[in-house]
């Protein structure tokens, strides 16, 4: 079994060597909110959770024939990103004190990328695909008299809280193929298909999916011999 795994890994590396892989860093900023249903609670976006930081990998498959150039229009982009998503309430929406929750996730977007040449080395690209995220920790707090939130560590409980989130992410952006790599900037939207709170826990909301918008900046180095973009 171990030998088969090594052979498959070598085949994958050989295939990647014929294509064009990239590896680099990504960063950005997110705004997020959650939809809380039954009992319904209107929520507002959280903008100040902190920067998104992570690593990114992109790969375009090789040309079908060495003597026939086909512009690479489709590839795959994977990322591993530390991000912050949450929500807040407002005094006009609830009789209770305004409340804010901020979750820190390790998120893995797995996106197909389609790109279209603008001219020269510039492209418009579209990213779309699923994501999975694991909640590392969370903070909650009520609003003080000065308008700030007194944020404290939130005790996660397996029966009450769902650490795993998943959903769909899509982005539209611009990319430049430079001498040593590729520079990308894009706007993204993600919609969660899971729930922040366990629906089977007494007193929890029957639905609590999250959504977010973000701006992402990414620079990836070109690995191996450069090929035509």
Q: How confident is the model at residue 225 (pLDDT cuts 50, 70, 90)?
A: low
Nearest in space to 126 (alpha carbons), one of 164, 73, 182, 81: 73
Q: What is the DSSP string of 7-18?
A: HHHHHHHHHHHH
Q: 205-215: buried (b, 16+ CB within 10 Å) or exposed (e) per residue?
A: beebbbbbebb
Per-residue model confidence as pLDDT tens digits over 63-114? 554 444 444 678 899 999 999 999 988 765 555 678 889 999 999 999 999 9
Residues 115-125: what's their mean pLDDT?
88
Give the pLDDT score at 116: 87
Cβ contacts of 38 within 8 Å, gap of 6 or more? 205, 206, 207
Region 16-20: what's the mean pLDDT?
A: 57
Q: What's the pLDDT at 76?
A: 92
Residue 196 has pLDDT above 50, yes or no: yes
CATH fold of 20-222 reads Porin (2.40.160)
Q: What does the domain layout of the chain look like in residue ranges?
A: 20-222
pLDDT tens column, 27-54: 999 999 999 998 888 888 998 888 999 9
Quickly state the pLDDT bin for 148 (edges 50, 70, 90): confident
pTM for the predicted model, two decimal places: 0.82
Contacts of residue 47, Cβ cutoff 8 Å, sequence gap at least 6 = 31
43 and 88 in contact (C-beta within 8 Å)? yes
Confidence of residue 5 (pLDDT cuts 50, 70, 90): very low
Q: Which of 12-21, 77-86, 103-112, 216-225 has the lowest mean pLDDT?
A: 12-21
Span 205-212, average pLDDT: 92
């Amino acid at each position: 079994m171990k030998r088969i795994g090594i052979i498959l890994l070598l085949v994958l590396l050989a295939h990647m060597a014929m294509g064009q892989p990239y590896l680099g860093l990504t960063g950005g900023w997110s705004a997020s909110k959650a939809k809380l249903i039954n009992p319904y609670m209107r929520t507002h976006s959280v903008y100040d959770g902190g920067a998104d930081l992570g690593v990114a990998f992109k790969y375009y498959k090789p040309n079908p024939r060495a003597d026939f150039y086909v512009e690479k229009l489709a590839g795959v982009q994977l990322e591993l990103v530390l991000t912050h998503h949450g929500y807040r309430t407002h005094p006009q929406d609830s009789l209770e004190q305004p409340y804010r929750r901020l979750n820190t996730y390790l998120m893995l977007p797995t996106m197909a990328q389609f790109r279209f040449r603008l001219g020269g080395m510039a492209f418009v690209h579209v990213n779309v695909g699923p994501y999975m995220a694991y909640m590392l920790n969370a903070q909650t707090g009520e609003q003080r008299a000065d308008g700030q939130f007194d944020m404290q560590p939130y005790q996660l409980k397996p029966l009450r809280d769902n650490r795993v989130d998943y959903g769909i992410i899509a982005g539209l952006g611009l990319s430049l193929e430079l001498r040593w790599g590729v520079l990308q900037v894009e706007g993204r939207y993600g919609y969660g298909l899971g729930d922040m709170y366990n629906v089977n826990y007494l007193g929890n909301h029957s639905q609590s999916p999250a959504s977010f918008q973000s701006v992402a900046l990414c620079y990836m180095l070109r690995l191996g011999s450069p090929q035509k973009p």
